[in-house]
Structure 1
Amino acid sequence: MLVDSHCHLERLKLAEGDSLAAALDRAQQRGIERFLCVCVTLDSFGDMMGAIDGFEQVAASCGVHPLDQKEAQELDRLYDLAGHPRVVAIGETGLDYFYAPETAALQQQSFRHHIQVARQRGLPLIIHTRDAKEDTLAILREEKAAEVGGVLHCFTEDLDMAQQAMALGFYISISGIVTFRNADALREVVKALPLDRLLVETDSPYLAPVPHRGKSNEPQYVYDVAQFIAELKGVSLEELAQVTTANFYRCFPGAKALFGA
C-alpha cells in the first residue's frame, strides 16, 4: 500500500463527468489507499473539508501557504480550525524566497505562528521551503519545532538541508519533480537519503511526474513517483511502499489513529 502524503484534492482539475470519488478509485486500483489533503488558506479550509467529506481514507491539514499572506497572522483562527477531528498536521507553512522574497518578513512571522500552534496542538508540521535554507532551519530551531516534527514536502533543496532537518526529527517528501529531466541534483540527494526518512507525494494537481507531464496531476500518479524512487535507490517498489507508509504513520500519528492503521 502507498500513501499520497501531500495532495490538494479539492483543487483537482477533473474533466466533465469525472469526480473526486472516481479519482480516488483510480488511485486505489494502483495501490494508493490513504491520502493527506493539505490546506493552503484558512478561507478555503471549509471548502476543502466539504470536498473530502465522506471519504474516510483522506486526512487533512490546516495552514496558510507562505505565498498567501493575507491570512497569515490569524493565529487564533488557525488554532481553532486545527481542532477539527480530521486535521492531523499544521501547514503547509514555511518560506518561499524564490517567488516572493519581498514578503520575507511576513512569511517568517507566519511560519513562527504556525510552529507555535503546532506545538500547542501537538501536531506535526508540513513545511514548504524554497531558496530559504538558512532562515527555514533557524526558525525551526528557534521555535522548537523538533518537539512536533513533520515533513519538508516537495523537497528540492540540497542534501545538507535535508540532513539538518532530519536531525530535528523531520521527514523528507519527494514529489514528481524527481522524474523531471533537469532534476539530476535532486536525484543525487534522493539516492543519499535514508529510506526511514522518506515520504512520497504528488502535490496534485501540480507537478505531474514523467510519463504524465503536461497532464493534471492525480493521486494515482504517486505510484509512478514511488516506482522511480525505488529504482533510484535499488529497492523493490514493494519495499519502498512498505517503508514510506510506515514513515507516514510515524510522521503523522494522528493519521494512524484516524485510519485505525
Structure 2
Amino acid sequence: MKFPVDIHTHRLPPVPGTAIANRYPDTFVPEEGAWYSVGIHPWHIPATVTPVVRNEMNVLASLAGHPQVLAIGEAGLDKLADAPMVVQIKVFEYQARLSVELDKPLVIHLVKAMSELLKLKQQIKPANPWIIHGFRGKAALAEECLRHGFYLSFGEKYQEEALRITPADRLFLETDESSVPVADLYSRAAEVRRVSLAELTEAIRENIAKVFFKQ
C-alpha cells in the first residue's frame, strides 16, 4: 500500500496513491491504487437547498464509505461564496455528521467564518479529525484553530510563522490547485520550520497513518 504525501489536490498525482485527490460526488470514478476525498464545496452550493443539492448529498452518502475514500470534503464555510451562510451551514453539517458516522476525517474549506465553524464543532462534538486545508491565516488564527483541536494543512502560500508554530503532530502539506511539486513544498516547509527534510517527512507520514489510515 502506498501512503499519500499530499493530502489534498485537485490535480492527478504523477503516481497513483501519492496524493489524496479531491472529487465532487458526481465526478468520483476511483482508479486502482488511488486515494480520494469526496465532498460538496461551498462554491457549488446554490441559494437554497434544492432537490439537486439533496440528490448530491445522497450520492455523497452512498460513496463516502468506499474504501478508497479516505476523507469527506472539502466541506466548507465561505463568506465570499454566493450561497447564503445558512444554506452553507446545512450542507456543511450534513457532511460533518457523515464524517463522524463513518469515522473519517473532514477536510474543511474556511474563509472568514471561524466563529460559525467553532459553533458547529461545539454542537457536533466530533471525535474524528477536522482538518482546515490550505491554511493561510496568521499565527494568531493558527493558535486559535489549534486550541480547538483542528489539524492544519498548508499549501503553496502561507504565513511562515503560522507554519512554524503548528505542532508537528497536527501538520499536513498539500498542493491543492498548485502546479508546484509536493516535494518542493516539503523542502520549503522544512526550511521554514528549521528542521531536516527527513524529520518533517516522517512526522507528516505518522500523521497521515494515524488520521487517514487509523494506524
TM-score normalised by structure 1 residue count: 0.72
2:98 pairs with 1:117: yes
SS at 1:85 equivalent: coil
Q: What is the percent sequence identity of the aligned residues?
A: 29
Give, in angstroms, the shift of residue 72 of structure 1. Answer: 4.3
C-alpha spacing 1:72/1:144, structure 2 compared with 1 (3 Å):
farther
C-alpha contact 1:73 1:113 (8 A) present in aligned 2: no
- CA 1:250–1:167: 2 relative to 1, 3 Å: farther
1:162 is aligned to 142
Alignment map for 1:181-200 (pairs within 5 Å): 186-200=159-173
How far apart are residue 142 of structure 1 and its match? 1.3
How many angstroms does 1:151 deviate by?
1.2
Matched, 1:36 2:12: no
Shift of 1:137: 1.8
Q: CA offset at residue 172 of structure 1?
A: 0.7
Q: Report the aligned-residue RMSD.
A: 2.2
User: Given the alignment of the two structures, is residue 60 of structure 1 paired with residue 41 of structure 2, yes or no?
Assistant: no
Instruction: After the TM superposition, list the runs of 4 or more consecutive aligned residues in structure 1 that deviate by more than 4 angstroms.
Output: none
Structure 2's unaligned 5+ residue stretches are: 47-51
Could you tell me which amino acid in structure 2 is paired with residue 252 of structure 1? F
Q: Is the 8 A contact 1:65 1:93 kept in 2?
A: yes
Residues 28-72 of structure 1: per-residue CA shift (max 9 Å, x gap): xxxxx7211112x222223xx2xxx12x1x211121111111554
Counterpart residue type for residue 94 of structure 1? G
Q: Which residue does the alignment assign to 1:8?
A: 10
Structure 1, gaps ≥5 residues long: 11-19, 26-32, 179-185, 208-216, 257-261
Q: Cα 1:160–1:136, aligned 2, differ >3 Å: closer, same or farther?
A: farther
Q: What SS is found at the alignment partner of 1:24?
A: coil
1:172 maps to 152
Aligned letter for 1:38?
A: N
For 2:6, give the aligned amino acid. Answer: D
Q: Of 60, 74, 85, which aligns to 1:78?
A: 60
Secondary structure of the corresponding residue to residue 94 of structure 1 = strand
Shift of 1:160: 4.1
Residues in 2 aligned to 1:172 and 1:199: alpha-carbon distance in whole angstroms: 6
For CA contacts below 8 A with separation 6 or more, give which structure has more relative contact order.
1
Partner of 1:243: 203
CA distance in 2: counterparts of 1:223 and 1:72, whole angstroms: 37
- May I ask how many residue pairs the two structures share in their alignment? 207
CA shift at 1:248, angstroms?
1.4
